[in-house]
Amino acid sequence: MQKRIPVIIDCDPGHDDAIALIMACCAKNLEVLAVTTVCGNQTVDKTTLNALKILSFLGMKNIPVARGSEKPLVRPLVVASDVHGASGLGGVLLPDPQIRLQKENAVELIRRILVQAKDPVTMVCTAPLTNMAIFLAAFPELKVKIREICLMGGGLDHGNRTAAAEFNIYVDPEAADIVFSSGIPIVMCGLDMTEKALMYMDEIEKFSQQPGKITALAVDIFRFYADYYRQEGFNGIALHDPAVIAYLMRPDLFTTEEMYIQVETQGKLTTGMTFVDRRICPDKPAPNVKVCTKVDRTAFVNLVEECCLSYENGTLI
């Protein structure tokens, strides 16, 4: 039997974070050791409450949840109310959580888990990288306990919060710079790929006919999310954060390329840009990021749907 990959999910739920959590909790090849939260899509109080509600609704009461940073390292917080609503999960109603928040903060919980872990742990980051940057600065000796960092963020040739910067990197570029410069293996799911990881409206409506409370939750998320993407000119929704979980579940669905990427922190127009060194020269730095460039869209959507339905039929995916 394949050994499960131990993961800690650092997130800011967030509609697509919610779908990513649904997928991770039913993946038979993943072992979710903890969920940590950070400011991003909304304030950390709201993203933490959302994480607790989602995991409670999924029945995952044994997964510890810890609250992380309430602001970026050096900048004022920017949130995505325009995308995710005032609560961070606009259009979605969930019962009060049945899970208690850990007394430890996110960085302390990550440290404890890594110290106790027998095998290296994969960090799954679907939010600004503030928690990770603080952790790496505080406990650099524990880098060896991180197998890799799989993140949603950045883009090769465009952004979404600005022309140059994707939202997660834009919110805390200094933190992203620390992470990208850490020497830890990084897998990046950026906009170039995730904006092609689309679930179309007819697929959402067809999926809405399936049974189960988790499917109903997912459909509520998809429909609210679709209103924003419709205004952006998309015929469907871009499932950014679920792509990271899908990569860990089914890497065969993705095309990847090794690249050298730096994060811009000083630019007048380019702050938060993930800058790719495309030069062909002998002294070019070695690649530091494995970038997911393409995805089998149909198979990816099928995987998302299968994960939601697995809660109804009691199977792991």
Nearby residues of 116 by Cβ (< 8 Å), 6 or more positions away = none
Q: Which residues of 18-40 are buried (b: 16+ CB within 10 A; e: fewer)?
A: bbbbbbbbbbeebebbbbbbbbb
CA–CA distance, 260 with 44 (Å, rounded to integer): 31
Closest CA to 224 of 37, 77, 94, 39: 94
Q: Is 240 a catalytic residue?
A: yes
DSSP 259-277: E-EEE-SS-TTTTT-EEE-
Alpha helices for the chain (secondary structure H): 15-26, 44-58, 81-84, 106-116, 130-138, 167-171, 173-180, 191-194, 201-207, 213-231, 240-249, 297-313
Bridge-based pairing state of the strands 254-259 and 289-295: antiparallel
CA distance 30 to 13: 20
| Residue 258: how many other CB atoms lie within 10 Å | 10
Q: Which residues make Cβ contacts (< 8 Å) with residue 253, sequence separation at least 6?
A: 246, 247, 295, 296, 299, 300, 303
Q: Which two tokens stand for residue 122?
A: 């994969």
Cα distances from 182 to residues 25, 28, 132, 169, in angstroms, run: 28, 30, 10, 15
Q: Which residue has the tokens 């429909």?
A: 223
Catalytic residue list: 240
